[in-house]
Amino acid sequence: MLNEKLLEILPAPVRKKIEPVAEAIGVLTEVKNPKVLASLAPAGVRGMILQKGKQGGPTKIPARHDALFDWEYPHDQPAMQKLYERAKKLQWNGSTDLDWKIDVDPENPEVPIIPKDFLGIDKIQELGVPMTPKEIQKAQSDTVTWMLSQFLHGEQGALFAAAQVTESVQFFDGKMYGATQVMDEARHVEVFHRYLDTKLNKLYDINDNLFVIIDALMTDSRWDMKFLGMQIMVEGLALGAFGTLYKMTREPLLREMLKRVIQDEARHVHYGVLALREHFTKYLTESERREREDWAFEVAILMRNRFLAYEIYEESFEGVLTRAQWREVINASPGLEIFRREMFRRLVPNLREIGLLSDRIKPHYERVGLMKYFEGKSAKDLDEHTIVTDLSEDPRRAA
């Protein structure tokens, strides 16, 4: 991997070309398990080096999975059947159940969209970049727009993954439930897009690391890998991010929208836990289970370390801060710290529940400080109501 010093002495245009490649190599060398590396590397090249998600226009990603038909229509998964009934009852309409008449101004200090210390403006100023109050408001607004743009891109991934898993999962009750999730994800795409398009008037490109995870899941033919990646890891990440923003924002339309999306996601993660627990305990060999356990750990670490909002950096801070300084800002960001905590508080108990936190892997989670979440509530203890009340108010909420 190219070191920072070498990068710093390169002329800016050369550095701009080389840095993403160096970054990609850095990400891939962080993955310690060779099998996991082999499964992520092709997606890593497409996402981080070729930047397939940032070329403008649609991106074609090959999907290879089998569609499994069952002509006997068995009802053998009562818990999934229950979720299907609940999902039918709790559908909502993104156009009429949200008050789109609310006027949103993300730079209005009277209705702060996120708290002032969310991104770490102090740190940017400490690094010698003076910012006017207007520039600070803009940076706050860009941060929310960046987060919501990534939510939107993630929801598109969830929409396609839910459709693929509905085809290939072996539980018929799971297929019926999956159809409701496809509708839920379409609604999430609808509301996030409408908010960005009509209230924030801006959309950021997909983050390279998010692209890599989505690409890897689309191209993997095994439904349970798509599911582990999407329902447990990416949805865990999304719930962490939605929960953080929900707790912190004072903007009423965004708050209501996030609350409703979080309630839908509670069902999705619950279904993920049910389906994977059944599959991992009854259908996989021990070596196949171990492969998933290692994959989940490596992806969790990548998610924790690699969502660095370079898209904001490239737009507003390139040339003023180095990429290494920007990483310092993001790693010290109070908002992102809360986001990481929320994410792992959800994710770790779900991994335990589906059997991917065996004694073999526990020391690795211990080493990175994540075992403290082991005893937490998993998705099966959190329904649409309790998942919202479980988001305790945070003192950092916008004031």
Q: Which residues sit at the interface with Fe ion, rule CB under 5 A?
A: 155, 158, 185, 188, 265, 268
Q: Specify whether the CB–CB gap between 211 and 310 falls below 8 A.
A: no
Distances (CA, A) of 204 to 37, 114, 131, 270, 320: 28, 18, 22, 30, 20
Report, in Å, the least distance between residue 230 CB and Fe ion: 8
Q: Specify whether the CB–CB gap between 112 and 144 falls below 8 A.
A: no
Report, in Å, the least distance between residue 233 CB and Fe ion: 12
Report, in Å, the least distance between residue 57 CB and Fe ion: 24
- Quote the CA–CA distance of 49 and 126 in Å, as a whole number: 32
CB closer to Fe ion, 155 vs 384: 155
Q: Specify whether the CB–CB gap between 202 and 145 falls below 8 A.
A: yes
CB closer to Fe ion, 227 vs 310: 227
CB closer to Fe ion, 30 vs 190: 190
Report, in Å, the least distance between residue 182 CB and Fe ion: 10
Query: Can you spell out the DSSP letters for 194-224?
Result: HHIIIII---PPPPHHHHHHHHHHHH---HH
Structure tokens at 173: 């009750």
CB closer to Fe ion, 158 vs 233: 158
Report, in Å, the least distance between residue 164 CB and Fe ion: 14
CB closer to Fe ion, 184 vs 251: 184
CA nearest to 313, candidates 129, 49, 126, 59 = 129
Report CA 361 to chain centroid distance, whole Å. 23
Report, in Å, the least distance between residue 340 CB and Fe ion: 20
- Quote the CA–CA distance of 217 and 230 in Å, as a whole number: 8
CB closer to Fe ion, 188 vs 364: 188
